[in-house]
Amino acid sequence: AQKVTQAQTEISVVEKEDVTLDCVYETRDTTYYLFWYKQPPSGELVFLIRRNSFDEQNEISGRYSWNFQKSTSSFNFTITASQVVDSAVYFCALSEAQTLSGNTPLVFGKGTRLSVIA
């Protein structure tokens, strides 16, 4: 069965600090996809990144970077030089390979609430 664990429930940092949000996943499939979403106070989940299981290259997008390591089943997310606007709940999610229906909904972790203090 698939499972996503975000062990950090809440994190508080001071503005301009770097912060890493941890994500550990479980799956029996060799083909799967990993995602990160941001949920600001307004409620909607904002897509940040998708990574497939065959691509272990780390990715950087501005102040955001992601470290995918299959050996430890982890897909960690780092925000560099954090800003107050980064305050939100961040969700890691997993989608396994195609089912008979052709659809593989996301399974989410419990989320990490990040508070960036000015």
Partner 1 sequence: ETGVTQTPRHLVMGMTNKKSLKCEQHLGHNAMYWYKQSAKKPLELMFVYSLEERVENNSVPSRFSPECPNSSHLFLHLHTLQPEDSALYLCASSQDLSVTGMNTEAFFGQGTRLTVV
Instruction: Provide the binding-site residues for partner 1, judged by CB under 8 A.
Output: 4, 33, 35, 37, 42-47, 50, 52, 91, 95, 98, 101-111
Closer to partner 1 by CB, 57 or 101: give it.
101
Task: Enumerate the β-bridge partners of residue 11.
Answer: 114
Closer to partner 1 by CB, 16 or 70: give it.
70
Q: How far is the CB of 36 from partner 1 (least distance, A)?
A: 10
In Å, how far are 14, 23, 93, 97, 106 from 38, measured between CA atoms? 19, 14, 11, 23, 14
Closer to partner 1 by CB, 64 or 108: give it.
108
How many CB atoms lie under 10 A from the CB of residue 29? Answer: 14
